């Protein structure tokens, strides 16, 4: 009898390699064929430098996936030559190797990919943690580090552990002025930022019928903040309408879970019981209902980002501002998701509502979400429709950032404080045109690439060589860190730092610069040959962005081992890929016993790796600390090789 499969299992079984198509057990190591890749400019330059390193000796260097797209949407401020040079590098390397290029100003990568390239039943990995946005249409999209994308472009399968599949069953329908953003904020409150590690949320139930693809994309996008591998919706009538609107019915197909299929876990959510929600500083799971903080004055409102910049969101915002002015005490900024969204607003006569209301209309880019401009005032309150509110991410260290739906943000923009959006009056009709003749600007690679010269500016430096780890090490505890350290904490974003993304020696000087600026000073006072460190961390180390720079700067600065209570999925993979050993405490009380500058001794590391446990000697107390090593055999080999680039290069560059 043919097994009944959920949607996640269907896609995985159609792409899995080497297990005779059996349904993998949860956390079983698997390898998947990848159909599509995406990169963005903050992570893409390093990814393509790594790709070039991998295929250095191959005659045919063209990418080996069905579709690859390079987007420029993060570091678009060209205040000096670095960003401009990197954008030129990205465009020329795309032309050379068969990659579609999306230039700055075209739109936000997740919005563009969803509308133009997403495909039910296909697989996508992207060097951005919010890549699961495209899973809104029934494809399996996963955020990874750039090196994973580079390997996929070279034809390597994608390795991961089979996630547990959780059925999130939605029933009934949302109340007026309650939106998809409130659904995902509610789930963050219930599950927390580490509650989805090694899981995929698969949405089913009658409640999904009223959710448009734009609504679903908000949920799959921000599911990343739960630590999920991905989130996924079926491809149904709503998906059909979406593909028809974007003139892409050739890529559409219906795709559902089998009736009576099973899941590893199930959770039922009554949409009718959800109210407008807000995430308070400084974590996406610090969620309360609007009623609990009603009356809080705001200094800034930002609407947009890859979470809430769709046609639907922008039409609502523009319609509600007709005949109104934004509060004079509030700076209101909007980032449409793409040029197409801007074009539709203009054709519908809605763009003038924004101008007349006093809204600052920005270029369709990531902008303030990634710390690229529009920093709040000192100690300011900023309400944003974004997906992250980590401390300092906005560009103002002492600002307090709150996250909400477009509905709540719109009301705050007008009234100058957080209020229930029902004060706006009647909910407007969101009528999206049946057809729009607008084609985004994508630059396709030439058929003949022999004349293409790759541009390399002076800030693009060769990749640093990472030597294999020694078998015996005496490591100094560089810092003891708390729970939920994010990749923004490890390596902040912003215009100054991310412009150095192609220059690892330069960007490494900014490791922990906002949260623990003394760390790099401490490192620089130690001779380079003696820099062998260990970091001690709490739960969920490395949550947030997929930027692998946060891992490579640790290894470049001499951090060989991180011992944590638990890790975020993508960052753990990135540490492995750059030869850093990610260990977990067997007994979490050992965390309390270790202090800064203590010495940790590891003996016979290579042989210990094979047994999934590594014993550490805490020199000050002479105590043996047992740690857990949850790695596949391939991951162990990668660490011994000094990282995945060394490991894969041996295969391709012989």
How distant is the alpha carbon of residue 108 from its chain centre? 13
Provide the number of structural domains found in the chain: 3
Q: What percent of the chain is predicted at pLDDT more than 70?
A: 99
Domain membership of residue 312 (yes or no) is yes
Domain membership of residue 341 (yes or no) is yes
Three-state SS at 416: coil
Domain membership of residue 305 (yes or no) is yes
pLDDT at residue 152 above 80? yes
pLDDT of residue 332: 97
- Of the residues 218, 251, 273, the one at which a domain ends: 273
Quote the radius of gyration of the chain (alpha carbons, Å): 24
For residue 499, give the H/E element and its range: none
- On whether both 268 and 286 belong to a single domain, the answer is no
Residue 379 and residue 394: Cα distance in Å, rounded?
A: 11
CATH number at residue 599: 3.20.19.10
- On whether both 46 and 183 belong to a single domain, the answer is yes
pLDDT of residue 373: 84
Domain membership of residue 22 (yes or no) is no
Listed range (169-173, 391-395, 409-413) with the worst mean pLDDT: 391-395
**Surface-to-core class of residue 450, CB atoms within 10 Å of its CB (0-12 exposed, 13-18 middle, 19+ buried):** exposed
Structural domain of 194: 7-14+31-273
pLDDT of residue 653: 61
pLDDT level of residue 654 (50, 70, 90 thresholds)? low
Q: Please say whether the beta carbons of 277 and 186 come within 8 A.
A: yes
- On whether both 52 and 175 belong to a single domain, the answer is yes
pLDDT at residue 10 above 80? yes
Three-state SS at 69: strand
**Surface-to-core class of residue 458, CB atoms within 10 Å of its CB (0-12 exposed, 13-18 middle, 19+ buried):** exposed
Query: If you search the block for the tokens 């979490």, which residue do you land on?
Result: 588
User: What average pLDDT score do residues 559-586 get?
Assistant: 96
pLDDT of residue 316: 96
Query: If you search the block for the tokens 């068969």, which residue do you land on?
Result: 98
- On whether both 307 and 179 belong to a single domain, the answer is no
Domain membership of residue 609 (yes or no) is yes
- On whether both 158 and 285 belong to a single domain, the answer is no
pLDDT level of residue 585 (50, 70, 90 thresholds)? very high
Domain membership of residue 449 (yes or no) is no
Q: Which two tokens stand for residue 253?
A: 């197909």
- On whether both 268 and 289 belong to a single domain, the answer is no
Domain membership of residue 452 (yes or no) is no
pLDDT of residue 495: 76
User: What average pLDDT score do residues 325-332 get?
Assistant: 97
- On whether both 316 and 346 belong to a single domain, the answer is yes
- On whether both 246 and 289 belong to a single domain, the answer is no
Domain membership of residue 389 (yes or no) is yes
- Of the residues 257, 273, 289, the one at which a domain ends: 273
pLDDT, one tens digit per residue, over 82-129 is 889 999 999 999 999 999 999 999 999 999 999 999 999 999 999 999
pLDDT at residue 224 above 70? yes
- On whether both 168 and 82 belong to a single domain, the answer is yes
- On whether both 486 and 619 belong to a single domain, the answer is yes
* CA-to-CA dists, residue 352 to 319, 348, 361, 407, 433, angstroms: 10, 10, 11, 19, 18
Q: Please say whether the beta carbons of 257 and 5 come within 8 A.
A: yes
- Of the residues 273, 307, 339, the one at which a domain ends: 273
pLDDT at residue 443 above 90? yes
**ω into 382 cis (within 30 of 0):** no
CATH number at residue 68: 3.30.499.10
Dihedral sign (CA 573, 574, 578, 584) = negative
Residue 202 and residue 234: Cα distance in Å, rounded?
A: 8
- On whether both 337 and 222 belong to a single domain, the answer is no
Q: Which two tokens stand for residue 12?
A: 């995985």
DSSP secondary structure string, 250-300?
GG---B-PPTT---SEEEEEEGGG---EEEPTT-TT-EEEHHHHTT-B-SE
- On whether both 43 and 61 belong to a single domain, the answer is yes
**Surface-to-core class of residue 452, CB atoms within 10 Å of its CB (0-12 exposed, 13-18 middle, 19+ buried):** middle
Query: If you search the block for the tokens 């003038």, which residue do you land on?
Result: 352
**Residue (of 307, 251, 252) closest to 67 by Cα position:** 251
């Amino acid at each position: 009898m043919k097994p009944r499969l959920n949607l996640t299992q269907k896609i995985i079984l159609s792409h899995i390699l080497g297990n005779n198509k059996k349904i993998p057990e949860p956390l079983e190591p698997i390898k998947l064929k990848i159909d599509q890749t995406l990169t963005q400019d903050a992570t893409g330059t390093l990814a393509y430098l790594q790709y070039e390193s991998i295929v250095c000796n191959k005659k045919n260097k063209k990418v080996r996936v069905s579709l690859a797209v390079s987007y420029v949407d993060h570091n678009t401020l060209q205040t000096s030559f670095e960003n401009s040079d990197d954008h030129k590098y990205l465009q020329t390397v795309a032309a050379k190797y068969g990659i579609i290029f999306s230039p700055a100003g075209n739109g936000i990568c997740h919005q563009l990919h969803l509308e133009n390239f997403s495909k039910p039943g296909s697989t996508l990995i992207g060097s951005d943690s919010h890549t699961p946005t495209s899973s809104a249409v029934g494809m399996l999209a996963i955020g990874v580090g750039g090196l994973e994308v580079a390997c996929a472009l070279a034809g390597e399968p994608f390795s991961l552990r089979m996630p547990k599949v959780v059925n999130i069953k939605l029933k009934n329908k949302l109340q007026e002025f309650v939106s998809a953003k409130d659904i995902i904020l509610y789930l963050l409150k219930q599950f927390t930022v580490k509650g989805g590690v090694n899981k995929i949320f698969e949405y089913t139930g009658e409640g999904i019928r009223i959710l448009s693809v734009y609504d679903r994309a908000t949920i799959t996008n921000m599911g990343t903040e739960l630590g999920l591998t991905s989130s996924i919706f079926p491809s149904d009538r709503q998906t059909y309408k979406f593909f028809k609107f974007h003139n892409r019915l050739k890529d559409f197909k219906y795709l559902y879970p089998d009736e009576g299929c099973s899941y590893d876990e199930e959770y039922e959510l009554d949409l009718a019981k959800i109210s407008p929600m807000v995430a308070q500083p400084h974590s996406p799971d610090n969620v309360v209902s609007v009623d609990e903080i009603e009356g809080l004055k705001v200094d800034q409102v930002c609407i947009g980002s890859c979470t809430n910049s769709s046609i639907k969101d922008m039409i609502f915002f523009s319609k509600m501002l007709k005949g109104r002015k934004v509060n004079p005490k509030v700076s209101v900024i909007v980032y449409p998701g793409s040029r197409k969204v801007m074009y539709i607003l203009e054709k519908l006569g809605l763009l003038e509502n924004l101008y007349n209301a006093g809204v600052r209309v920005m270029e369709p880019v990531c902008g303030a979400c990634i710390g690229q401009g529009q920093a709040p005032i000192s100690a300011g309150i900023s309400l944003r429709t974004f997906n992250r509110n980590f401390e300092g991410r906005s560009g103002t260290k002492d600002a307090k950032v709150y996250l909400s739906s477009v509905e709540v943000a719109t009301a705050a923009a007008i009234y100058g404080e957080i209020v229930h959006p029902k004060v706006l009056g009647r909910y407007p009709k969101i009528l999206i045109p049946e057809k729009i003749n607008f084609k985004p600007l994508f630059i396709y690679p030439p058929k003949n690439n022999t004349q293409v010269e790759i541009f390399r500016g002076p800030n693009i430096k060769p990749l640093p060589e990472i030597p294999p780890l020694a078998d015996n090490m005496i490591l100094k505890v560089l810092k003891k860190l708390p729970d939920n350290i994010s990749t923004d904490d490890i390596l902040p974003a912003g215009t100054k730092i991310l412009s150095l993304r192609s220059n690892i020696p330069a960007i490494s000087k900014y490791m922990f610069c906002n949260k623990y600026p003394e760390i790099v000073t401490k490192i620089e006072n130690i001779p380079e040959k003696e820099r062998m460190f260990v970091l001690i961390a709490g739960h969920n180390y490395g949550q947030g962005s997929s930027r692998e720079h946060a891992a490579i700067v640790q290894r470049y600065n001499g951090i060989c081992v991180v011992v944590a209570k638990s890790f975020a999925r993508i960052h753990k993979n990135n540490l492995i890929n750059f030869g850093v050993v990610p260990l977990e405490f067997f007994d979490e009380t050992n965390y309390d016993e270790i202090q800064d500058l203590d010495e940790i001794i590891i003996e016979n590391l290579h042989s210990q790796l094979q047994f999934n446990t590594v014993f550490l000697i805490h020199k000050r107390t002479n105590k043996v600390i047992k740690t857990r090593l949850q790695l596949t055999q391939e991951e162990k080999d990668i660490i011994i090789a000094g990282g995945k680039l060394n490991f894969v290069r041996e295969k391709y560059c012989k």
